[in-house]
Amino acid sequence: MTKELAGMYAALMTALDDAGEFDPVRQRALNDYVLRQGLAGLYVGGSSGESGLLDRAELEAQQAVVAESAKGRAGRLIAHVGMPSLRDSIHLARNAQRLGYQALSALPPHAYPFSDEEIFAYYRDLAAATDLPLIVYEVPVRTGRPIALDMLVKIMGLPNVAGIKFTSTDLFKFSMLKRRCPEKVFFFGFDEIYAAAGALGAEGGIGTTYNLLGKLYVALDAALKSGDLARAQELQDISQVFVEALLDIGVLPGMKAGFAAIGIDVGPTRAPMLLRGTDGAARMAEVMARPDISAWLA
């Protein structure tokens, strides 16, 4: 099933009510929008979903609401279950399996400066906790350091490990890892440079901005696979304009302001995360109204 997981996945956001609590009603509206975009599926409960600010019960509730929304619709579900505690990660993994998710993923343990061997043991135990394929994760911007190439190869060799979400600009390392583990599936996690990784053999992407512009990323991936590099660059340029605006006002608050601008209320981000500047919402509304952006809305 490893290569069957390939494709473009929205790193699904989490809808909150006005008080900052998980809101199943708003989550269903968000799910419906994202599921209409022709993506390969949803990546549920990751950093884009504010998982570092949610507790295990909220993440379980979100898993259930998303599984309900996806029932009878095209697309696969990958549950991100990486929490600071291995115990909680395993609990989330088993909950996702009960709900019918097709795969799991997890950040490396990140609450402390864990050694490579501790990271390996975490993935070993998590991979053994269910029979679902596991997508491991290289994300130095979140964990504070890269995992050594040899250790990544060792982790990728664990039973049930199907592939990796590679969220690093070290594309030489990406290529070396891909050559060493050709049977695994490789996802890339930086939306704004997906074309570069796609040209080097990424078999899919998992990204935050896919929530709003999933159709664009599906087209970008298709252009790469057909060898139309000019079209891929054109689409990546649009993506970069969008990401640049988000970086200026805050990625997740900006994404939520973007949803508000098109009439979908997914609530605020959870404190202490805030939209930057007094005009952030207005600036995001202007971005969403750009013809090159609005053309890709679902």
Catalytic residues: 137, 165
157, 163, 167, 170: CA torsion to nearest 10: 50
**Amino acid occupying residue 184:** K
Helix (H) or strand (E) holding 210: helix 210-225
| Angle separating helix axes 171-180 and 149-156, nearest 10 degrees | 40
Contact 130, 97 (CB under 8 A): yes
DSSP state of 29: H
Give CA–CA dist 249/146, Å, rounded: 27
Q: Tokens 């989490």 identify what position?
A: 14
DSSP string, 96-139: HHHHT-SEEE-PPP-SS---HHHHHHHHHHHHHSSSS-EEEEE-
Structural tokens at position 1? 């099933």
β-sheet bridge partners, residue 148: none
Give CA–CA dist 24/68, Å, rounded: 11
Q: With 0-12 CB in 10 A as exposed, 13-18 as middle and 19+ as buried, what is 30?
A: buried
DSSP state of 148: P
Termini Cα distance of the chain: 29
Structural tokens at position 65? 């609401």
